[in-house]
Amino acid sequence: MSDSAAMPGESPAPAHSVRPRLTSRGGGLLAMSVVAVILGWVMREPGCIHLGLLGLLVLGAGFIWAGSNLRSLSCARTVPESVFAGQPFPLALTIFNHRKRRDTFAVEFEDTVAGPVESGFRIDWLHAGGSATREMQSRVSGRGLLHQAQTRFESMFPLGLWMSRIELESNLEMTVFPRPVPPRMFEDPELLTLLEANGTESVLTHWDGDFHGLREFQPGDRLKLIHWPTSARSRHLVVRQFDRRLPGRVTIVFHSIFPDSKPQPGAVFESALELLCGMLLIFRDRGTPVDMIASFNAWQPMQVESHGQLHAALRTLATAKRMAERNFSALHAALERAEAGHRVIVLSDVPIKEWESHLLELPCVTICLSIQEMFIRQSRMVPQKPVSIVQGELP
């Protein structure tokens, strides 16, 4: 899914509303100035007194200038409207000087949205009423709609005698979807065929559509498609070619039902959302329509066919909160709503052994998924073959 057009995020308040915090870096000059005044007074040396007073005057003027140098600055962020967690996106940081007559000098700027590598930039001279922009790549690790951020303006102007600093808290409004992690098992074309074929074909055949003709064997073709009589006559391998069947509809049901034990850690829920996000993108790429029913969405079905519907589903994932349940009534009602001919995937952040035996018998092959295993449950309405369980990390 491509990101939408860039738009400004919410910016921190202008720095003129915050008083800078000043730290002295001119301790040596202060000590020498005080010593010069004392020695000049004791030794009756007016020149020494004047030199010490000049040093104190420079420190005082630097204090006043440093305190006003960062005033009336603000920052604006330009970011995409939506991104995926952990993936790079373009970020533009713009610094504004709102003062009409006074320039700003030697400003170091840092922003937490920019990340640890490129956290900001330096502005040597920013004219009154002017602005400066830097473009970079950034990442956001956590999903959500609202993200806390911190901005810092820092300067050693003038003469490095004082360090002035202003720190601003702000919120970045940007939709961050979960990181898409498709299960590796979905890279197997036979499993995808299982999802797209009807109940009988998924067990008895290994092709996708009606017979179309014969063609020469190509790397990657299934050996079961080789037409041996024709291959023997022509002395080279020939395979049967089938029309691509129109993609069937898939129903994905997500739940967090843990009937007997304590709920899973929050990180497991996040991993399951990443798998769900990856599956939605896989089916989008294959042109397969999806019905998503999830416990974190109050078991309300969502159709995912168009670009707008996919964006709405991903936005739901961005704000999802784990709904730990103990009974299977809502899950059974969701499975009963699945229309005949749909392919069903049941995904959970709970180990399969805790809930697979509680599923309803459906008139189709059901794929049960957790973040560590996959279970293919055959329908009793089609010829049986051994049930397979695949262990190990799916992502």
Domain 195-199+246-391 bears CATH identifier 1.20.120: no
Residue 298 to residues 128, 221, 292, Cα–Cα distance (Å): 53, 43, 12
* The most confident of 57-61, 158-162, 303-307, by mean pLDDT: 303-307
Q: How far is CA 177 from the centre of its chain?
A: 5
Nearest Cα neighbor of 92 from 73, 118, 66 is 118
Residue 310 has pLDDT above 90, yes or no: yes
The model's confidence at residue 383, banded by pLDDT at 50, 70 and 90, is very low
Cα angle 198, 199, 203 (rounded to 5 degrees) comes to 105
pLDDT in tens, 170-226: 888 999 999 998 877 666 555 655 555 443 333 333 344 555 678 888 776 777 778
Residue showing tokens 């670009």:
307
Instruction: Name which of 35-49, 184-198, 231-245, 310-324 the model is least confident about.
Output: 184-198
Instruction: Report pLDDT for 143.
Output: 94
Does the pLDDT at position 304 exceed 60?
yes
Residue 389 pLDDT: 40
pLDDT of residue 196: 54
Q: Which amino acid is at 302?
A: M
381-395 exposure pattern, b = at least 16 Cβ within 10 A, e = fewer: ebeeeeeeeeeeebe
Helix%, strand%, coil% for the chain, nearest 5: 30, 30, 35
DSSP 325: B
Distance CA 276, CA 259 (A): 22
Beta bridge partners of 146: 173
Is the pLDDT at 369 greater than 50, yes or no? Answer: yes
CA distance 216 to 227: 10
pLDDT in tens, 7-21: 445 444 454 456 677
pLDDT of residue 242: 61
Q: What is the pTM of this model?
A: 0.73
Q: Environment class of residue 60 by beta-carbon count within 10 Å: exposed (0-12), middle (13-18) or buried (19+)?
A: exposed
Residue pair 248/316 in contact by the 8 Å Cβ criterion: no
Per-residue pLDDT tens digits for 240-290: 776 544 456 889 999 998 877 666 677 889 999 999 999 999 889 888 899
Q: Distance between CA 176 and CA 363 in Å, rounded?
A: 37
- Per the listing, tokens 């409207």 go with 81
Q: Regarding predicted confidence, which is higher, 242 or 162?
A: 162
Peptide bond before residue 158 is cis, with ω within 30 degrees of 0: yes
| Predicted local confidence at residue 290, as pLDDT | 92
Tell me whether strands 82-84 and 162-177 are parallel, antiparallel or unpaired.
parallel
Question: First CA to last CA across the chain, in angstroms?
Answer: 19
Domain ranges of the chain: 6-175, 195-199+246-391, 210-243
What secondary structure letter does DSSP report for 178? Answer: P
> pLDDT tens for residues 48-86?
888 888 888 888 888 888 888 888 888 889 999 999 999
Distance CA 185, CA 393 (A): 10
CA 300, distance to chain mean position in Å, is 24
CATH class of 6-175: mainly beta
Q: At what angle do helices 266-286 and 307-318 cross, to 10 degrees?
A: 170
Residue 107 CA to residue 123 CA, distance in Å, equals 5
Least confident of 25-29, 111-115, 233-237, 297-301: 25-29
Q: What is the pLDDT of residue 117?
A: 57
